[in-house]
Every structure is written in structure tokens, then in C-alpha cells.
Amino acid sequence: MKDSGNEIVLMKGNEAIAHAAIRCGCDGYFGYPITPQSEILETLAVQKPWETTGMVVLQAESEVASINMIYGGGAAGKRVMTSSSSPGVALMQEGITYMAGAEIPGLIVNVQRGGPGLGTIQPSQGDYFQATRGGGNGDYNVIVLAPSSVQEMADFVDLAFELAFKYRTPAMILSDGVVGQVMEKVVLPPFKPRRTEEEVLRECPWATTGHTPDRPVNIITSLELRPEAMEKHNLHLQEKYSIIRANEVRYEELQTEDAEYLIVAFGSAARIAQKAISDLRKEGIKVGLLRPITLWPFPTDRIIELCSQVKGILTFEINAGQMVEDVRLAVNGRIPVTHYGKMGGIVPTPNELIDVLKKDFKI
């Protein structure tokens, strides 16, 4: 394992996820192979963390089993994760909604590919709706982090676990085939040991670790047949989500200080947008970038603020137009909002984006 403090290494985003998991005290990974993210499980298998940190690594029989292993491990207080790509994450939705309902922390990584259905193995951002609207049945949300670089793939693993345990809710890293497969420089996070049994018991007094006389029995369930009690539980969840909305919005801005136009893009699309903005500015067109890092909670308030500064917003996503709905909800008709994207696994170029922006805003 590459193991020096601040050494810069070159690796794929998927590999960075695996190394970061080992380094951030992850207790277990449970997953099923699917392109374009299989390097995560493969890297873990090569690294053999069960011999070093004691991390469990298991290839499950399906994504359905994988997510339920995350349910079981998270409900037992452990930092556990799975990863998959779009069709596999669709299969996981049952387990994710059970986790949200039962308030179980855990990490799901989605390295998106094009859909619908079996779709393609090429990159896409077509699962934005699925990720940010909950994805399964019932009223719930999942914390969604969108990395746009290999460095963020590495950094967000620990962040996702911290948020998941802080709020007792599943967290997702919504990546895509570009960020998963591209090789970039990355500084791997420093080693953080796995929590000891005593630390787990102290941090997770709610977990099913075996009933000791010093506490009531712990029962992890999402079931409640009494409507009044179920409503109360739902209100509790919604209260939690409102706290997350108030405290955990993350985004990055690039050259928005003097921007007259704004591009909103996340993940790999934001990288393409950066190049487009750089070229547009050479032509004297003042464009800035707002990159949501948390897709849920969404940086609604910042977009509202920018409405009084910019003349129009172009939402750029590698899909048919999904995040643009959140942008429009924030803008609420104040200024024009357009969308550009491609589907089917085609990644647009900066030049396409430049042409679209000029056309949309008649520059």
C-alpha cells in the first residue's frame, strides 16, 4: 500500500475510494462487481485490509444482499460501505429506504453509468433524481456528496462516514464513470485506526451489539403499525433532514465574484465547465461556476443570492436535465435558467458548452 504522509500518488478514482476506506477506519466493505466501479472491490482484495486493519471485505451474491449487509453492519454500529453503479444502485433502493427509516448510518458509492435499464457502461449523471429524491419508497433523503476529482473520491469517504454517523442516516457518494476511471494525482488521507469495541459501544449506544444490563434492548426496525407513532417517527426524520439542510450544504465557486452568467454543474461535468469558463473569459465573457458538492442538501440559498448578480444560469449535467429542476426551484423565475446535457454515455466537450451558453443567452 502507498503509505507516506503527503506523498502524491497517481491512481484511478475507484482505487482512491478503496485506499481511503482502509485508511479512514472503515470496518467493512460488501459489494458486487459491476462496471465501471469494480476496481473498488478489486483494489480491496489486493490490499487485504483484513490482515492489517481488520476491515472485513466480502463479495456478496448481489447488490440486494450487499445493501442489506450494510444495513446489518451499520445497525451493529460499524462503519460499513458498499459500492456499485447505476443498475446495481437501483437494486439497492429497498435497503437504502430501510436504512433511512431505521436510522442506520452507512456509505453507498454510486459510480454512475448511462441508463435507463442496463444502459451503457459509459459515464452518466442520470441518477441525480434517484439519489437526491431518496430513491426508494417513503419520505426520506440521503446525504449525497458529488466528487469531481480523484482527490475528492479519497476525501469524501471519511466525510461521508462522519456525516452518516452524526445524523444516523445513509450517505452516498454520487460519482460517475469519468471520476471513477480517470487517473489523477491524489494525496491519500492519513491513517485513522478503526474504532475499538469500546469506542463503538460509546459512539453507538443504539446499536445491536448484544444487550447489556446497563441499557434497554436495542431494536432496529423501520416498522411501526400505529399511524400516530409512524407519523411521529416521520416528523422526527423530517426534523433531522431540516437540520442537515441548515448545516451541511457544501459547494464550491469559481470566478463568481464578477460573473454575469453562471454555470451550475457537479462532478465530472464541473471539470468540463471549468475549461469552458476559462475559454469564455479569454473572450471577455464573464462566466462563473457554482459546483454543488452536496447534491442533497442542495445549495438553494446560494443560488438565490446569485440571482441578483447574474443575468442567467446554464445548468450543465450529463443527463436529460435533472439538477436543473432544483436550480429552477431556487431561482423561482427570477432569471432565465437553461440546461445542457448529453445522454447515452456521451461526455460533452467544453466547446459544446461554450456554444450553448452563447446561444442560450444571445451573447
Q: 95 vs 147, which CB is nearer to another protein?
A: 95
72 near another protein, judged by CB under 8 A: yes
Burial of residue 7 (number of CB atoms within 10 Å: 0-12, 13-18, 19+): exposed
Determine the interface stretch with another protein among 26-34, 241-249, 280-288, 316-324 (rule: CB under 8 A): 26-34
227 near another protein, judged by CB under 8 A: no
Question: Shortest approach of another protein to residue 267 CB, angstroms?
Answer: 29
Q: Of the candidates 134, 128, 164, which has an alpha carbon nearest to the alpha carbon of residue 146?
A: 128
222 near another protein, judged by CB under 8 A: yes
187 near another protein, judged by CB under 8 A: no
Burial of residue 121 (number of CB atoms within 10 Å: 0-12, 13-18, 19+): middle
102 near another protein, judged by CB under 8 A: yes
Determine the interface stretch with another protein among 39-47, 53-61, 112-120, 245-253 (rule: CB under 8 A): 53-61
List the one residue from 31, 95, 115, 297 that touches another protein (CB under 8 A).
95
Give the count of residues interacting with another protein (CB under 8 A).
38
The β-bridge relationship of strands 294-296 and 312-316 is unpaired
45 near another protein, judged by CB under 8 A: no
C-alpha cell at 8: 502524491
List the one residue from 42, 94, 184, 360 that touches another protein (CB under 8 A).
94
Determine the interface stretch with another protein among 75-83, 140-148, 255-263, 305-313 (rule: CB under 8 A): 75-83
Question: Rule CB under 8 A: which of 228-287 touch another protein?
Answer: none
Output phi, psi for 96, to 5 deg.
Answer: -65, -45
Please give the biggest Cα pair distance in the chain.
71
93 near another protein, judged by CB under 8 A: no
CB 165 within 8 A of CB 27: no
Q: Which CA distances in Å does 305 have to 130, 300, 309, 311, 314?
A: 27, 9, 8, 12, 16
- Distance between CA atoms of 237 and 347, rounded to whole angstroms? 37
List the one residue from 25, 165, 166, 209 that touches another protein (CB under 8 A).
209
- Distance between CA atoms of 240 and 61, rounded to whole angstroms? 33
- Distance between CA atoms of 266 and 248, rounded to whole angstroms? 17
60 near another protein, judged by CB under 8 A: yes
List the one residue from 196, 198, 223, 284 that touches another protein (CB under 8 A).
223
Which residues of this protein are in contact with another protein, per CB under 8 A? 27-28, 30, 56, 58, 60-62, 64-66, 68-73, 75-76, 78, 80, 94-95, 98, 102, 208-213, 217-223
